[in-house]
Each structure stands twice: as C-alpha cells, then as structure tokens.
Structure 1
Amino acid sequence: MVNLEKFLIVLFLLFLPSQLAFHFWPAWSLVNGIRVDYLSPTIYLTDLIILSLFLASRLRVRIPIFIIIFSILNILVSSSPLVSLYKWLRVLEYLWLFKYLTQKHLALSPWPLALSVIWTSALAWWQFFLQGSVGGLWYWLGERPLSVSTPLIAKVTLTIHNSLPTLVMRPYATFPHPNALAGFLLVGSVILYSFYTSPLRPSPIIGEGFRGRGMGLLAVLIALLTIPITFSRTVIVLEMLILLIWLRPLLLKVFLLISSIYFLISTSGSVASIPDRLDLIRKSLFLIQKSPILGVGLGSFIPATMNYELITNNYLYQPVHNIYLLLASELGLPAAMVIGYWLLVHGKKMLRTMNYELITAVAVIVITGAADHYWLTLHQNILLLIILIAYAYSYRWGSQR
C-alpha cells in the first residue's frame, strides 16, 4: 500500500466518529416544510477522505447486474425517487469501501481507531459534566449545539438514593443521538479488544505490535466507562452481559451485576417513546403490506408514511427503530430475505472460526438493530459496520491470523 493510502486510512479512522458535514436542503428533503436530516443529501468529511482513497487507489468495482436492475426498479417505485437515488449512490460508496478493505488487505492500525474512540468518549464526558455542548474546536468535529433545555434533546430523570429526581441531558459527542454513540463505542471497543488479545507480533491486520495494543486497551477501558452515561439501556445491558461472561473473578461479576441493576432502576427515560416506537412499527407493517415486492424505496420510509399520517395523525419524522422492518419496508420482502440469507451463510462461517470477539461484535449489531435503526441510517455507524464486516469477511479474525 502506498504511503498516501496509509495516510488517508489513518485520517479516515481518526475522523470516523465525526459528523462534520455540509447539508443540502432541496424541496424533497422537507416534510410538511420541516427539514428532515435523514432525507438531506450530505457531504461528510469522511466522504472526502473516501473520495481521496478512491482516486489514490485506482480500485474500481463492478456492480452485479442484479443489483443495478433492482436499484433502478426500487427508485422507480419509490415514494420519493430522488431520496432513493441519493441513498443508492450512498450504497455504491459503501460497496466500494467494502471492496477496498477486503481486496487491498489493508494493514489496519489500531491506534487511530483507538484515538477516535478516546476523543469521542472524552467529549461525551465533557458534555455530561457541562450538561451542554463544549463548542470551540469540537464544533469542527461535528458537535452540535446542545443543552438540557434544547427542545427534543435526549434526557433522563436520574434518582440517586433519596435525592430528588434530576433531569439530565444524555451526551451526544459528535453523534446525532446518544444511542448511536453507545452502539459505536461498544462495537468499537470489542474490535479494539480483538487487537489487544492478538499475539505480540506484526500481522496483516495490526502492524503495530505493543504500541497499538496498549492504546487499544486504554480506549476499550474508556469506552466501557463512557457507555453508562449515554443511558442507552439496550447497549448498557449488552455491555454488562459481555463483561459478566468475559470477566473471571466471581466477586467482580456479582458486584457488576448488582451495580448495573441499581443503575438501570435509578434512571427513567421518556415514557412517550414507547408508544412512538410502537406506532412506527405499525407504520412499517403497513408499508410492507402496501409494497411487499419492491418496497417503498430505499431511504423513503418517512415520505412513504405521509399517507399513513392521515390515519394516525402522529407526526414522527424518523425511521422505524428496527433495521429488519426498515429493510423490508424500503426494499421489499424478497430483497430483505436475500440479505438475511447472505448474512446467515456468512454468519455460520464466522461461528466456525470460534473468534469470540468477532462473534460478540456482530451479535451486538444484530441485537441493537432490533431496537434501533442507526446501523442503517447514520453515516458514522454504517462506516464502522462496513469495517467490521470487511475484516470479518477477509481475515476471519483470530483463527486465521
């Protein structure tokens, strides 16, 4: 790999959590006059880095004809064809990145990924203590203006011992939502832990020896300490389960179990979010019934629900919080089943590697994907997902190093 590509990969991993971007707001990105981030064509800093990699590597990818045909049909039947066209262009970008990571067999250094996890966690703690955004240089990494009084900001009510309930802002770091931050940190920490448990020698993946492993372990510890303050219950429960399985001393496991139970019962989130999520599930089932073969168009879940809004009169401008229902809604049942079959086949191969870190990382995505949509809708999380799948596909971590 040429030095320029190595440099660009380091930049890509360092700025992986950043949401620094330029948003465009054409008419089709507005719903009832309201700007919807999920529909906005966006150029991220990481897009520019990927474009630079594309030009530097000269790697070109052939798109299978069946994907081309299906994408055209999906765009033609879409509730918002221009939104779907933009989303399919995104898919091309992600497919190219996947092929690049698998075919080039890059030496993925752990230290830039570790640094990105560290600075993201540090910003989350800073926001948590300030109960608002930090500003300054963090703005240029994608931090948005935040405060506990900001409308629609994610908050929890925290009760400690006999104290009065306190309204607390959940930290975002540079992510659109604390849940996405939590998922990124947990999967990122499991990936880094796989580096820490690898042999102390250069390898096609590591190439850094002790230095990369040491920083990776530090990032893992910081990430695991940061996840609880995101108050993302699904991710917190998964983190506790992982630690309970991997930690050996029985006393430590008991302490961890008791403290985690106390932490979960001492916090309460928005009760209104449960009916909202159920309503989004009903909408997704309605859309699947309406367009079972080709779906309502990639990325067009929100525009497609506008007719359904007249029935429910509940204006929720976000996708369903379930990646499986989201895929079936936007791509149709046949495409969702094909994707599921592909994942099942490669999942069985992954299980045979007996690489528990890799299996754990994938399991986290499978489980959190049933409770949220960010692995398919948010740029930072999608990029981390591609990194995980690419290296799982290419190297079968652990068993084939």
Structure 2
Amino acid sequence: MIRRAEQFLFYLLIFSIPFQARKILWQQSWYFNEWQSISIYATDVLLMILFVFWFFAGKKIKIEKADYFLVVFVLVSAISIKNSSNFVLSSYNFLKLVEFVFFYFYLKNYAVKKFGFSRSLAVLIAGGLFQSVIAIVQFLNQSDVGLRIIGESIIDSNMTGVASFYNKTGEKIIRAYGSTPHPNVLAGYLFLSVFGFYFLWIYKRVSKIYVFVYALILLAFFFTFARVAVFLLFVNFLIRVILVRFGGFKKEYWKKKLIPLFLTTFIVVLFFSLFYWPEAVSRIKISPREEAVQLRIFYNKESLSSLNWFGVGSGDFVNWLMVRNPNLPRNLYQPTHNLYLLIFSETGIFGISSFILFIVFLVKDFIIKTKMEKLHHYSFLLIFSSFLFLGLFDHFLWTLQQGRFMFWMVLALLSLGWLDTTHRKLNSDLESNKID
C-alpha cells in the first residue's frame, strides 16, 4: 500500500511538472517581479514527500567523480550569498539549488530504479498529451482555457506582456502556453515528451495509439513557436535518422518502427505548414534589430561586466541589475537569457568553473561507461546536448520551477543512460526487443 502510494506520487510529480499551482509567500516590492519573490509550489510539496520516502528507504547517495564538482558548485553558491544585496532572496535561491541537486541524486540513485524508466517515460508522455490538449485549445482560441487550479496563466490578445508575435498580415498571434509560465517552458517539456515517445516507440512494444499521441504533442510543440527548441528537435530527428541509416544500427526491425514515425512527422509538419505558414515564416525570420535579440545582447553584456570570484550572489542578478541600471522599465528587470552567463554572474569564476567541470566529467563518465555501443546511448547524449544548447538562449532551466525540474532530470538522465549495463531490470527490458 505504501509502495503504491509512493509510486503514484512520483508519477504525479512527473505529470505535474508544468503546473504553476503555488503560494507566493513573499515579494520584495509592492509590484510583483517573479525574480524578486519567494513561492512554494505544489510540486515542491510532492517532492518533499518523496524525499521522506527516500530517507526512510535507507538508500545511500552514491557520489560519482563528476558529482564532486557539483558539491563544490553548491558550496561556492553558498559562499556567494555574502555578496548578495538581499540575503533572504539569495538564501531562497540557494535552497532551491539544494532542493534540485537532491532531486538529481534522488532520480539517479533511487527513483528510476524503483519505479521503472519506461513507465516514467510513459507518464511523461501522458503529461505531454495533457499539456498539448491545453496548448492546442489555447492557440485556436487565442486565449487561456481557465484552468486556474493548475496555475494556467491568464492570456488574451488584448493583454500586454503576453508572448506573441505578428504575422505577415499584421495579425497578433499568441503562442501556446499550456499550464507553464511561458511558451518556451512548454516547448521544453514537450521536447522531453517527444524524446520519451521516441524511446518507447523504438525500444518497446507499445500501442499504435502512441503515434496519434505523438502527432498531438508535435502539433502543440509547433504552436509554441519556440524557435530554438523547434530547431533542436529537427536536428535531433535528423541525427537519429543518420545514425540508423549509416551508423551500423540498421536492421529490418527499424522499418516497422521508422516508417510510421516518418509518416506521422511528415503529416504533422505538412498540416502545420499548409495552415500556419505565414505565422511560421514570421517566427523563422530573425532580425538583429528584433527586441528579443537586442535584449539578449544587453543582458549578456551586463552579466559579463560583473567579474567576481564568487559573483553577485545566488539568485541576485535582477537586484544587481536594478542597482546598475535603475531607470529601465520594470518588465526589463529579468535574468540574463543565457544559463551559463547567469551562473557566472551570480556565482563568479569559481562557480561557473566548477559547474562546467561537473558537466564535462558527467559526459566523460557517460562515454567511458557506455562506450557508445547502443543507439539509445546517442539518444541520451543528444537530449542532454540539446538542453545545454537551449541554455545558451534562455534562463528558464535555471530560474523557473518547471525549467529546474527539466534541467536536473536531463542531468540525471545522462547518469542513468548506462544503467542497461549495470541494472538487471532495465537490461532485460531493453533486450526483450533485441534492437541495436
């Protein structure tokens, strides 16, 4: 009974990652700024309960070589608080870092082995389907659905500050949000859902209804109009095709799997292109004078101007920016849209150095342990690399609750990618299909 309850809560957490349901406990000013507030999310509560189960299970945390650099990074982040202009806010962001570092260890040392990798991916796909239905309705209606209970944002074409763009005819187009705070965040979650589908479709005997689910998720993914994420998905798809065709992985089995996948992808892309080509063209074109581009350049330059061994303080970039540029419009006080520059700015040279070493050794250990012998090893590395690349253009993986879950899941995924060589249950699960 207890095990089933724990399993249910874990699957519920994966499903509800995009939810925004929360209680705002504190804000720094009379006007609300996301980056100057303290909140507790429903997903925080779920995670804390799961940590209690983990604690009483008595499972020890296994520290790999790469993890030592992660520990150093956490320590540097703690020291950086001394430079912060707001001790409370900086301490909160440090505690969020600690929370998700534990989430990383929880996944790699306990949860996935206990509850199953394939089932976890199935729940991720179910979550993606749920978000896709919301997103498609939002996009077609150009307004929110009204699901406040899960934290859906209020979106309307007459509102300012809503993620939108203008098509070639001058019509304002609102991008799909799902229940996330921004379309780019939704795109990240749907990206993971697509990865989950690819993995189960290729390695497991799943119902053909999964193809229909994939089509809906892919369509909703396009409705986010997240340029970098869409680009990365096509690159991932192309690399997988090349690996199957020329990488020595091709067998008759792949024809049964890849043909339906190709056809479904082609149909969705064709449908989207036929009906939404003006919108797609408007988003594809990027001008150096575009506001989004100019703001990214501005934030990046500002972050590089704060050279410090320990940075301006964990989570304190926005406060620092306010002091440095006090006359900016309120809506422009945001973290720099580059994960690595944000880490550098907030935790300094020591912080970014230890973080990069953590990433490098994580990849090195993965390659050494797997020897890249199987196709899914390349798949894990692709999804990992995609999120690292995504971090060059956005900060949500580091600053928002939903993004943090995704980012640390992907980091744990690379540690789990070699489990098929050491974990009997997963090994037999993969070998049952005799692919690669």
Structure 2 length as normaliser, TM-score?
0.77
Are the counterparts in 2 of residues 111 and 216 from structure 1 also a CA contact under 8 Å? no
CA apart distance, 1:18: 0.7
Which of the numbers 196, 207, 216 marks the counterpart of 1:191? 196
1:20–1:140: 8 Å Cα contact kept in structure 2? yes
Deviation at 1:68, TM superposition (A): 6.6
Task: Please give the secondary structure, in 2, of the residue aligned with 1:25.
Answer: strand
Q: CA deviation at 1:70?
A: 3.0
Which of 101, 107, 125 is residue 136 of structure 2 equivalent to?
125
Matched, 1:300 2:306: no
What is the RMSD computed on CA atoms of the aligned residues?
3.1
Q: Which whole-Å CA distance do the structure 1 matches of 2:89 and 2:6 have between them?
A: 32
Residue 67 (structure 2) pairs with residue 51 (structure 1): no
Matched, 1:322 2:338: yes
Instruction: Tell me the distance in 2 between the aligned counterparts of 1:278 and 1:145.
Output: 29
1:166 matches 2:166: no
Cα 1:66/1:179, change in 2 over 3 Å: closer
Partner of 1:203: none
Give the alignment partner of residue 278 of structure 1, picking from 297, 300, 312. 297
Aligned residues: 375
Q: Are residues 75 and 145 of structure 1, via their aligned partners in 2, closer, same or farther at CA, if it must alter by over 3 Å? A: same
Alignment deviations for residues 113-151 of structure 1 (CA, whole Å, 9 cap, x no partner): 22110010110111001111111xx21111121101111
Q: Which has the higher helix share?
A: 2
Deviations 1:145-181 (A, max 9, x none): 110111111111123xxxx332111111111111111
Farther-moved stretch of structure 1 (59-68 vs 327-336):
59-68
2:425 corresponds to 1:377: no
Q: What is the deviation of 1:3?
A: 2.1
C-alpha displacement at 1:396, in angstroms? 2.2
Give 2:102's aligned residue. Answer: 96
Residues 180 and 374 in structure 1, CA contact (< 8 A), matched pair in contact too: yes
Q: How many angstroms does 1:6 deviate by?
A: 0.8
* 1:326-345 equivalent positions in 2, closer than 5 A: 326-345=342-361
Q: CA deviation at 1:69?
A: 4.7
Q: Aligned match of 1:241 in 235, 241, 252?
A: 235
Counterpart of 1:228? 222
Aligned to 2:39: 42
AA matched with 2:98: L
Contact 2:194 2:217 in 1 (8 A): yes
Identity %: 24
Is the Cα contact below 8 Å between 1:171 and 1:178 reproduced in 2?
Answer: yes
Moved more, 334-343 or 50-59: 50-59
For residue 26 of structure 2, give the secondary structure of its aligned residue in structure 1: coil
Instruction: Give, in whole Å, the separation in 2 of the partners of 1:37 and 1:313.
Output: 16
Verify the 8 A CA contact 1:190 1:360 in the aligned structure 2. Answer: no
Alignment of 1:387 onto 2:387: no
Aligned to 1:356: 378
Query: Judging changes above 3 Å, is the alpha-carbon distance between structure 1 residues 187 and 111 closer, same or farther for their aligned structure 2 residues?
Result: closer
Aligned residue among 61, 80, 85 for 1:79: 85
Q: For the Cα contact (< 8 Å) 1:188–1:384, is it kept in 2?
A: no
SS of equivalent residue, structure 2 residue 379:
helix
* Structure 2 match to 1:205: none
* Alignment CA distance shift 1:393-1:246 (3 Å): closer
Q: Secondary structure at the match of 1:168?
A: strand
CA contact (8 A) 2:197 2:214 kept: yes
Q: Distance in 2 between matches of 1:67 and 1:339?
A: 6
The secondary structure found in structure 1 opposite 2:325 is helix
TM-score by length of 1: 0.84
What's the CA shift string for 1:56-88, capped at 9, x where partnerless? Answer: 332587898856753442112212221110011
How far apart are the structure 1 equivalents of 2:130 and 2:393? 26
Partner residue in 2 for 1:147: 156
* 1:177 aligned onto 2:177: no
Paired residues of 2:21 and 2:151 also in contact (CA < 8 A): yes
Contact 2:84 2:314 in 1 (8 A): yes
Deviation string, structure 1 residues 308-353 (Cα, Å, up to 9, x no partner):
204x746522101100100100111122111111211221333443
Amino acid at match of 2:409: I
1:342-384 deviation digits (Å, cap 9, x = unpaired): 2112213334435122122112101111011111111112112
Q: 1:217 deviation in Å? A: 5.1
Deviation of 1:215 (Å) = 6.5
Deviation digits for residues 203-250 of structure 1 (CA, Å, limit 9, x no counterpart): xxxxxxx36xx666554332222221111111122222233344578x
Mean CA deviation greater in 97-106 or 149-158: 97-106
Q: Return the letter of the residue paired with 1:222.
A: L
Matched position secondary structure for 1:185: helix
**Cα deviations across residues 246-266 of structure 1 (Å, max 9, x unaligned)?**
4578x9899969959986424
Contact 2:74–2:97 (CA under 8 A) maintained in structure 1: no
Distance in 2 (CA, whole Å) between partners of 1:91 and 1:317 is 21
User: Cα–Cα, structure 1 residues 123 and 175, in superposed 2: closer, same or farther, change >3 Å?
Assistant: same
Task: Specify whether residues 399 and 187 from structure 1 end up closer, same or farther in structure 2 by C-alpha distance, changes over 3 A only.
Answer: farther
- Structure 2: distance between partners of 1:286 and 1:2: 51
